[in-house]
């Protein structure tokens, strides 16, 4: 039996595409004494890499996934294991053609060469495809196939050549030891390895490995069926593994990929077949490999007919047989993104899991960077393992969401599309009232949040066309003009917003000031009762977060952040705490609810239910303090994300329903209405030019680029300070702007409204490129009802970032004229912030 060394600088568990790439990049970054282990033999230890179909389509709607893919392709090319074949995504329906037009938007936004082609053009290259079945296709010449096993071997060998790596195959991990919250040891069938850094790159087995250390990698092994049909004479006549483009039959959720004389047909159309990790056979028990499970032909039969329909001449060729068929296991996650980064539960224990072959080398490089210097070059926030809330780590949640998502792998997924499974799990205290008000709930990290209220429908009559109605079904899906009516009512009178989804945590202790000061950009050594909005940076000066901090006492801060990034932000702060415990993070997310009250009448309304002095002089902007409302003690904070006078009201969860009812009834005589997140997160925000984490802000963006520089930088040191000072001294390579759509009329005469993700082009349609080599795209889009326009945010090349510049946005392959409305953080609406000041 193989034996392992007794200690290592880092142990990488897993020798699939991810583990292999990781050891190479760690070695390249200077790591030595790397030990890589796998329970299987090399070069194919039996995981998902070994049976992957190995093709790569670079265009994805996600920028993060596209970046990982492009980086991976570059690495595969450099290793000489990439064969370019080109690829078609074919449409059988007009609805799919529209989705392919949207795919063109993503291709243009990420700078990938693609084009829409006719069935005849497809047949020119794929003569055995029946053109009468399809209506068109999306052609990407840079599609190709890779040899992922060979790539893995090359990367291991390179790390070995550097003298950095020791590889031990056929040893199985039997335990992971954790002491004082840190990983200390990997116990294996070949002996124990002392190590304070360990990476789980075990694909479908990762959850079981994490569990050994008390951590969570919430993925599930799921079946992807694949068959191989051959020999097919048309394919056999050409040399090499692949000589015809790969075809994705998007409407049947299938693909056809040549492999020598065979055609591989893979499917994402069958029922979701999930397995528990414990159900995966051992290498000895497996018929083929552990992740090539027995084929269940009944599940595949419908796809067989559809594939035959598309390629009757090839798949029906004389002598062609189904000579390989598997239920191949791959990893699925509840939100579809990979699971990367240091586990929040165990210091030094990293995850690099739920990664496809098309992203493997890129993930290896970036996780290696992350482990070495801190933040990786490409923003990985959607893949950060710290993003999961406890309920999202449960097996039942993972099963529910992956079951729902499986058939959407090739699906047409609207950017606003909501999950239907595992809903109603985190309910605000005022949920019953919201239901009575006809709230339409959208989900955010489990919370059910009203997006708009049917009870406000009558407002549509008041505002008429000012609600900017949308004619096209796609533009108005997961949207309602009521959102814009609520917006106008709030600007005119007042709106009441449920903000229960905020993540809230306190930082307390004698070192709280020092710890918070070190974690964030803004000056937080302020008087108690002050509210500070601040970016949080990483070491490279990219955005880690933006959030609000209230100083409640000398040794007491309250941090409030968006639900979506709450868990990542909590990890950022927990990691920033001193080891001696002199400052600590206390999570109060489930203890407090928050109600926002904003609008010109907000002071009148709040004044009618509290005796506290809430006059401008008595309760200035950016201040917070406890006030009494009836028999409730409420922490009121005078800030605004919608650009209006008003307060966020924090109080214990169990009193939330009472305050909600009280504010609504006190507001009624003033014309206040309940207002959904559609206003809070989009229309109100965009009119004020407020940036959102995950849209405008991520680790690739800087404070100067985002136009969020303050005149001074505090003296106290903070994470990213050095990088930030350098950024301030240089000219920005790209500038965040708000653009206004000048004309919405499409060729058909129908008015179209962009939803986000679209490329911004020069007025004549030529592509633009910023100082990072990136093409501008819409980071957020939405109505600005008070301005009577549709606003887009985008990072533009500095020479285009000038107010009044005329550009174009491409939407569904038509161009619409747009004009730069602001080229810095100046709000398009109420640019001098008179409303927030509310001095009257």
Partner 1 sequence: MTDVLVCIKRVPGASGEVLLSDDGQRVDARHVGWTLSAHEECAIELATQVAGATGGTATVLTVGSADAIEQLRDALALGCDRAVLVEAETDRFGPVDVAAAIAEVVRAHEAAGTSYGLVLLGNDAADTGDFQVPVRLAYALARPVVTGIATCTVEGDLVVAHGDGPDGPETFELPVPAVVAVMEGGVAPRYPSVMGRMKAKKVAIEQVAAEIEPVGSGRVRLTLPPEQPSQVQVLGQGADAAPAVVDLLEELGMVSR
Biggest distance spanned by C-alpha atoms of the chain: 88
Q: Which is nearer to partner 1, 78 or 321 (CB)?
A: 321
E strands within 16-141? 34-37, 55-56, 82-84, 87-91, 115-117, 136-140
C-beta of 291: minimal distance to partner 1 in Å?
A: 11
Q: Which is nearer to partner 1, 324 or 419 (CB)?
A: 324
Q: Which is nearer to partner 1, 305 or 626 (CB)?
A: 305
Are 495 and 598 within 8 A, CB to CB? yes
Q: Which of 487, 451, 452 is nearest to 466 (CA)?
A: 487
C-beta of 246: minimal distance to partner 1 in Å?
A: 18
C-beta of 72: minimal distance to partner 1 in Å?
A: 31
Q: Which is nearer to partner 1, 286 or 337 (CB)?
A: 286
CA distance 674 to 133: 50
Q: What is the 3-state secondary structure (H, E, C) of 93-129?
A: CHHHHHHHHHHHHHHHHHCCCCEEECHHHHHHHCCCC
Tell which one of 233, 281, 469, 652 touches partner 1 (CB under 8 A): 281
Determine, following the binding rule CB under 8 A, whether residue 286 of this chain makes contact with partner 1: yes
Q: Which is nearer to partner 1, 237 or 298 (CB)?
A: 298
Stretch that binds partner 1, among 83-91, 280-288, 342-350, 435-443 (CB under 8 A): 280-288
C-beta of 324: minimal distance to partner 1 in Å?
A: 8
Q: Which of 709, 375, 339 is nearest to 572 (CA)?
A: 375
Q: Which of 420, 304, 361, 352 is nearest to 155 (CA)?
A: 361
CA distance 590 to 563: 11
Stretch that binds partner 1, among 111-119, 275-283, 610-618, 795-803 (CB under 8 A): 275-283
Q: Which is nearer to partner 1, 200 or 325 (CB)?
A: 325
DSSP of 143-190: -EEE-HHHHHHHHHHHHHHTT-EEEE-S--EEEEEEETTEEEEEEETT
The SS3 call for residue 711 is coil
Residue 431 bears catalytic tag: no
- Tokens standing for residue 45: 């230890």
Q: Which is nearer to partner 1, 172 or 824 (CB)?
A: 172
Determine, following the binding rule CB under 8 A, whether residue 239 of this chain makes contact with partner 1: no
CA dihedral 586, 539, 194, 22 (to 10 degrees): 120
Judged by CB under 8 A, the chain residues 208 through 237 that form the site for partner 1 are 229
Determine, following the binding rule CB under 8 A, whether residue 285 of this chain makes contact with partner 1: yes
Determine, following the binding rule CB under 8 A, whether residue 130 of this chain makes contact with partner 1: no
CA distance 669 to 720: 49
Query: Considering 25, 51, 224, 744, which one is annotated as catalytic?
Result: 224
Stretch that binds partner 1, among 282-290, 456-464, 500-508, 722-730 (CB under 8 A): 282-290
Q: In what order do the strands lie in the sheet with 144-146?
A: 55-56, 144-146, 82-84
Tell which one of 113, 282, 476, 745 touches partner 1 (CB under 8 A): 282
The SS3 call for residue 541 is coil
Judged by CB under 8 A, the chain residues 296 through 335 that form the site for partner 1 are 296-298, 301, 304-305, 307-308, 315-316, 320-323
Q: Which is nearer to partner 1, 42 or 286 (CB)?
A: 286
Tell which one of 238, 271, 287, 477 touches partner 1 (CB under 8 A): 287
C-beta of 154: minimal distance to partner 1 in Å?
A: 17
C-beta of 129: minimal distance to partner 1 in Å?
A: 15
Are 214 and 200 within 8 A, CB to CB? no
Task: Evaluate the omega torsion of the peptide bond into residue 309 and state whether it is cis, within 30 degrees of 0.
Answer: no
Determine, following the binding rule CB under 8 A, whether residue 277 of this chain makes contact with partner 1: no
Query: Considering 546, 569, 698, 770, which one is annotated as catalytic?
Result: 546
Could you give the angle at which helices 360-373 and 63-78 cross, rounded to 10 degrees?
100
The SS3 call for residue 797 is coil
C-beta of 229: minimal distance to partner 1 in Å?
A: 6
Tell which one of 100, 293, 614, 818 touches partner 1 (CB under 8 A): 293
C-beta of 263: minimal distance to partner 1 in Å?
A: 9
DSSP of 615-683: STTTS-TTBEEEEEETTEEEEEE---SSSSSEEEEEEEGGGHHHHHHHHHHHHGGGT-EE--HIIIIII
Task: Evaluate the omega torsion of the peptide bond into residue 43 and state whether it is cis, within 30 degrees of 0.
Answer: yes
- Tokens standing for residue 325: 């068929």
* Terminal C-alpha separation, the chain: 81
Are 157 and 120 within 8 A, CB to CB? no
Beta-ladder partners of 64: none
Determine, following the binding rule CB under 8 A, whether residue 295 of this chain makes contact with partner 1: yes
Determine, following the binding rule CB under 8 A, whether residue 175 of this chain makes contact with partner 1: no
Q: Which is nearer to partner 1, 286 or 574 (CB)?
A: 286
Determine, following the binding rule CB under 8 A, whether residue 238 of this chain makes contact with partner 1: no
Stretch that binds partner 1, among 11-19, 290-298, 440-448, 482-490 (CB under 8 A): 290-298
φ, ψ of residue 313 to 5 degrees: the values are -70, -35
Query: Considering 244, 255, 389, 592, which one is annotated as catalytic?
Result: 255
Stretch that binds partner 1, among 149-157, 247-255, 289-297, 592-600 (CB under 8 A): 289-297
Q: Which is nearer to partner 1, 280 or 755 (CB)?
A: 280
Stretch that binds partner 1, among 94-102, 239-247, 279-287, 530-538 (CB under 8 A): 279-287
Stretch that binds partner 1, among 293-301, 490-498, 701-709, 777-785 (CB under 8 A): 293-301
C-beta of 163: minimal distance to partner 1 in Å?
A: 20
Stretch that binds partner 1, among 51-59, 187-195, 274-282, 575-583 (CB under 8 A): 274-282
Binding residues for partner 1, total number by CB under 8 A: 25
Could you give the angle at which helices 17-28 and 360-373 cross, rounded to 10 degrees?
40
Determine, following the binding rule CB under 8 A, whether residue 577 of this chain makes contact with partner 1: no
Residue 255 bears catalytic tag: yes
CA distance 545 to 285: 47
CA distance 166 to 436: 64
Residue 604 bears catalytic tag: no
C-beta of 266: minimal distance to partner 1 in Å?
A: 14
Q: Which is nearer to partner 1, 229 or 560 (CB)?
A: 229
Q: Which is nearer to partner 1, 315 or 754 (CB)?
A: 315
Residues designated catalytic: 224, 255, 546
Residues in the site for partner 1, rule: CB under 8 A?
229, 279, 281-282, 284-287, 293-298, 301, 304-305, 307-308, 315-316, 320-323
């Amino acid at each position: 039996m193989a034996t392992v060394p007794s200690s290592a600088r880092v142990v990488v568990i897993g020798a699939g595409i991810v583990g292999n790439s990781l050891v190479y990049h760690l070695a390249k970054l200077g790591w030595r004494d790397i030990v890589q282990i796998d329970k299987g033999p090399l070069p194919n230890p039996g995981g998902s890499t070994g049976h992957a179909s190995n093709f790569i389509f670079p265009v994805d709607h996600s920028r993060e996934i596209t970046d990982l893919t492009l980086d991976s392709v570059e690495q595969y090319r450099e290793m000489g294991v990439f064969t370019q074949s080109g690829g078609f995504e074919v449409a059988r329906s007009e609805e799919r053609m529209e989705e392919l037009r949207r795919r063109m938007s993503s291709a243009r936004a990420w700078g990938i060469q693609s084009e829409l082609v006719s069935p005849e053009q497809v047949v020119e290259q794929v003569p055995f495809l029946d053109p009468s079945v399809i209506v068109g296709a999306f052609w990407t010449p840079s599609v190709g196939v890779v040899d992922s096993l060979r790539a893995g071997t090359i990367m291991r060998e390179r790390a070995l050549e550097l003298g950095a790596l020791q590889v031990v195959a056929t040893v199985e991990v039997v335990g992971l030891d954790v002491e004082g919250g840190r990983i200390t040891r990997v116990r294996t069938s070949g002996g124990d390895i002392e190590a304070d850094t360990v990476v789980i790159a075990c694909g479908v087995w990762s959850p079981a490995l994490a569990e050994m250390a008390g951590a969570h990698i919430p993925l599930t092994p799921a079946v992807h069926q694949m068959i191989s049909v051959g020999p097919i004479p048309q394919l056999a006549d050409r040399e090499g593994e692949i000589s015809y483009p790969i075809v994705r039959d998007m409407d049947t959720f299938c693909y056809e990929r040549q492999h020598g004389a065979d055609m591989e047909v893979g499917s994402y159309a069958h029922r979701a077949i999930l397995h528990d990790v414990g159900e995966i056979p051992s290498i000895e028990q497996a018929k083929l490999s552990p992740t090539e499970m027995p084929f269940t032909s009944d599940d595949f039969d419908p796809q067989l007919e559809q594939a035959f329909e598309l390629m009757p001449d090839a798949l029906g060729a004389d002598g062609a047989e189904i000579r390989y068929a598997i239920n191949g296991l791959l990893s699925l996650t509840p939100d579809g993104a990979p699971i990367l980064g240091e586990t929040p539960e165990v210091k030094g224990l990293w995850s690099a899991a739920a990664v496809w072959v098309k992203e493997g080398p890129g993930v290896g490089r970036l996780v290696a960077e992350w482990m070495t210097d801190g933040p990786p070059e490409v923003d990985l926030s959607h893949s950060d393992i710290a993003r999961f809330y406890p309920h999202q780590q449960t097996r039942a949640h993972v099963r529910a969401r992956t079951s729902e998502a499986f058939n959407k792998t090739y699906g047409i997924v609207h950017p606003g599309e909501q999950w239907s499974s595992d809903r109603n799990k985190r309910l605000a205290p005022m949920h019953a009232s919201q239901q009575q008000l006809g709230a339409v709930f959208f989900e955010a990290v489990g919370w059910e949040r009203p997006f708009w209220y049917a009870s406000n429908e009558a407002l549509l009559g008041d505002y008429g066309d000012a609600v900017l109605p949308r004619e096209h079904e796609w533009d108005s899906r997961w949207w309602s003009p009521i959102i814009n009516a609520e917006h106008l009512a709030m600007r005119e009178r007042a709106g009441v917003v449920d903000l229960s989804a905020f993540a809230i945590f306190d930082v307390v202790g004698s070192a709280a000031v020092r710890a918070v000061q070190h974690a964030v950009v803004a000056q937080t050594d302020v008087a108690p009762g002050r509210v500070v909005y601040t970016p949080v940076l990483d070491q490279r000066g990219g955005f880690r977060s933006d959030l609000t901090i209230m100083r409640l006492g000398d040794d007491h801060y309250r941090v409030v952040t968006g639900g979506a990034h709450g868990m990542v932000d909590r990890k950022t702060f927990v990691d920033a705490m001193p080891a001696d415990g002199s400052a600590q993070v206390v999570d109060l997310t489930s203890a407090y609810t928050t109600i926002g009250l904003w609008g010109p009448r907000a002071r009148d309304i709040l004044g009618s239910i509290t005796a506290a002095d809430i006059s401008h002089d008595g309760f200035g902007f950016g201040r917070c303090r406890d006030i009494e409302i009836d028999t409730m003690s409420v922490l009121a904070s005078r800030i605004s994300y919608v650009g209006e006078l008003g307060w966020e009201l924090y109080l214990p969860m169990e009193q939330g329903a009472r305050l909600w009812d009280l504010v609504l009834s006190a507001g009624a005589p003033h014309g206040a209405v309940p207002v959904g997140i559609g206003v809070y997160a989009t229309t109100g925000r965009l009119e004020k030019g407020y940036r959102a984490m995950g849209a405008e802000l991520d680790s690739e963006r800087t404070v100067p680029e985002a136009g969020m520089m303050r005149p001074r930088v505090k003296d106290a040191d903070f994470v990213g300070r050095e990088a930030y000072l350098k950024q301030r001294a240089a000219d920005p390579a790209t500038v965040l702007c708000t653009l206004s759509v000048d004309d919405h009329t499409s060729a058909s005469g129908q008015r179209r409204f962009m939803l986000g993700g679209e490329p911004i082009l020069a007025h004549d349609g030529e592509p633009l490129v910023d100082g990072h080599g990136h093409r501008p795209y819409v980071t957020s889009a939405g109505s600005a009802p008070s301005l009577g326009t549709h606003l887009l945010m985008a990072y533009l090349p500095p020479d285009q970032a000038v107010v009044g510049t005329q550009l174009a946005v491409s939407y569904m392959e038509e161009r619409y004229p747009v004009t730069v409305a602001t080229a810095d953080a100046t709000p398009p609406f109420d640019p001098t912030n008179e409303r927030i000041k509310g001095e009257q």
